[in-house]
Amino acid sequence: MIVRIAPSILSSDFSRLAEQIREAEEAGAHAIHVDVMDGRFVPNITMGPVIVGACRRSTSLPLDVHLMIAEPERFIPAFADAGADYLTIHAEATPHLHRVLQVIHGAQVKAGLAVNPLTPLEIYRDALPELDLALLMSVNPGFGGQSFIPASLDRLSRLRSLRDELNPECVIEVDGGINAGTATRAVRAGAQWLVAGSSIFNQQASIAENLAALSAAANVSSG
């Protein structure tokens, strides 16, 4: 299976957002990853439904919206209306996970569940049948440009086994510190979609060059 790359616009130049998204699409990105942060669940504030709507008007790629917000149940309709294709909530963000996943599906949106680096993976044993996507955080959520936490590799392979056993339709996504160095190992451990922010949007090379390098590293290992 070809490993997919979902560029995170968190590291993009917001004064040229539509242009950067189009560049990523033309370079072969599979989805656009949108990092929503509320200053409560994580110590940073980023963007909301208005920006998701702007992304929607800029691309036909799926919008993979990562909600790093407390009480995500309050905002599902707004993000669904804005054009999200995937809405991923955090296991740590609400006591009502099952209900929120149902609300997401009720809005005809694909549902994802994310876990922080030390959250037990056991939750996926019950949650996987309800999921379209399982997102394993390989950094602490809140900021782009952090280093990949090595213990995430073992967690990825355990998550991949659970997924293979319980819901082989579910996509395994990894998020945080993914670059041409870490991508190969993450894919070998079981990741299918790679989120990448600072290794795609940076001053060192063009979006297309960065995406090609990451995709090559990711797919060399998938055999």
Please give the positions annotated as active site: 35, 175
What's the CA gap between 44 and 182, in Å, rounded? 25
| Residue with token string 């560029």 | 7
* Site size for Zn ion (CB under 5 A): 3
The 3-state DSSP class for residue 118 equals coil
What's the CA gap between 159 and 191, in Å, rounded? 9
The answer to whether residue 202 forms part of the interface with ligand DX5 (CB under 6 A) is no
Q: Which of 28, 145, 150, 181 binds ligand DX5 (CB under 6 A)?
A: 145
Contact of residue 190 among ligand DX5, Zn ion, none (CB under 5-8 Å per partner type): none
Task: List beta partners, residue 113.
Answer: 89, 134
| Residue with token string 């989120």 | 195
The answer to whether residue 142 forms part of the interface with ligand DX5 (CB under 6 A) is yes
The answer to whether residue 175 forms part of the interface with Zn ion (CB under 5 A) is yes
Q: Which of 94, 152, 182, 198 binds ligand DX5 (CB under 6 A)?
A: 198
Contacts (CB under 5 A) with Zn ion, residues 97-136: none
Per-residue binding letters, 157-196, with ligand DX5 (x by CB under 6 A)? ------------------xxxx----------------xx
Stretch of 14-22, 90-98, 102-110, 144-152 lying at the interface with ligand DX5 (CB under 6 A): 144-152
The 3-state DSSP class for residue 185 equals helix
Per the CB < 8 A criterion, the answer to whether 52 and 31 are in contact is no
Nearest to 109 by CA among 130, 84, 72: 84
What's the CA gap between 6 and 12, in Å, rounded? 13
What's the CA gap between 187 and 68, in Å, rounded? 24
* Site size for ligand DX5 (CB under 6 A): 21
The answer to whether residue 36 forms part of the interface with ligand DX5 (CB under 6 A) is no
Q: Which of 3, 5, 8, 210 binds ligand DX5 (CB under 6 A)?
A: 8
The answer to whether residue 30 forms part of the interface with Zn ion (CB under 5 A) is no
The answer to whether residue 146 forms part of the interface with ligand DX5 (CB under 6 A) is yes
